[in-house]
Amino acid sequence: MVEIIVAPNAGFCFGVKRAVKMAEESVEKIKGSRIFTLGPIIHNPQEVERLKGKGVKPLEGEELREGDTVIIRSHGVPPEKERELRRKGVNVVDATCPYVKAVHEAVCQLVEEGYFVVIVGEKNHPEVIGTLGYLKESGGEGIVVETLEDLEEACKHERVGVVSQTTQNERFFKEVVGELSLWVKEVKVINTICNATSVRQEDVYRIAPEVDVMIIVEVRTAGTRGGFTA
């Protein structure tokens, strides 16, 4: 008989659960308003369809009208994008994950302290795009690092601060920090990898040697570089 082992930390992460709950609460609280999310609230077609049935759908080409409701999903958005929404007179429900907000705060802190900022993550990931918006807003300089080769620009600076996309692979994050330590005079590291990502990666490392086949169902809010949220 086949034995199926389910990882103890499988399932939606805290940020996704929170965003979905806020979307459901919006349906109950905001009557007579069209309700949209900025992109799919999660990359899970079944969940997106379920929410559509409740009246919450991704914003896909519709022209926003005053009085509409827009939910910022857990990835967050650049501050300018949020201001743009508010200028249109729409109701904004900010479901940005608190762990993502912590990345924004860390970036602003590093800029204030005079560091060139390295964001370990994917350049086109919506979370990283939002974080870059906060970097720009704070008047700082920085880059997104997807590979070790991307570090060339950072190594030209004496003081470098490092943060991470919340769903980044821990091993790659450590590689980046180690490489910078060899070439930069001062490196300040703020580990912003979400614990939900870490424990799921640990589950994989622990279970893999004990089974013949492993199936990873990657329920994501967006693509990640070897990291996952569920």
Is 55 a member of any domain?
yes
Query: What's the whole-number mean pLDDT along residues 197-220?
Result: 77
How much of the chain, in percent, has pLDDT values that exceed 90?
Answer: 67
Q: 75-130, pLDDT tens digit by residue?
A: 999 999 999 999 999 999 999 999 999 999 999 999 999 999 999 999 999 999 99
Q: What is the 3-state secondary structure (H, E, C) of the chain?
A: CCCCCCCCCCCCCHHHHHHHHHHHHHHHHCCCCCEEECCCCCECHHHHHHHHHCCEEECCCCCCCCCCEEEECCCCCCHHHHHHHHHCCCEEEECCCHHHHHHHHHHHHHHHCCCEEEEECCCCCHHHHHHHHHHHHCCCCEEEECCHHHHHCHHHCCEEEEEECCCCCHHHHHHHHHHHHHHCCEEEECCCCCHHHHHHHHHHHHHHHHCCCCCCCCCECCCCCCCCCC
Domain count, the chain: 1
From the list 15, 78, 11, 68, the residue with the least C-alpha distance to 41 is: 15
Which segment of 114-118, 144-148, 216-220 scores lowest on mean pLDDT? 216-220
Res 192 pLDDT > 80 = yes
Mean pLDDT, the chain, whole residue set: 89
Query: What's the whole-number mean pLDDT along residues 59-69?
Result: 90
Residue 205, pLDDT score? 78
Is 91 a member of any domain?
yes
Model pTM?
A: 0.82
For 60, other C-beta atoms within 10 Å of its C-beta total 8
Is 129 a member of any domain?
no
Active site residues: 127
From the list 151, 193, 53, the residue with the least C-alpha distance to 142 is: 151
Residue 197, pLDDT score? 67
Domain that holds residue 63: 14-97
**In the β-sheet with 69-72, what is the strand arrangement from edge to edge?**
56-58, 35-37, 69-72, 91-94
Residue 188, pLDDT score? 98
Query: What's the whole-number mean pLDDT along residues 161-174?
Result: 94
Is 158 a member of any domain?
no
Residue 30, pLDDT score? 86
Is 198 a member of any domain?
no
Is 76 a member of any domain?
yes
Is 112 a member of any domain?
no
CATH number at residue 40: 3.40.50.11270
Is 43 a member of any domain?
yes
Q: 48-59, pLDDT tens digit by residue?
A: 999 999 999 999
The size of the chain, in residues, is 230
Report the C-alpha gap between 226 and 27 in whole angstroms: 35
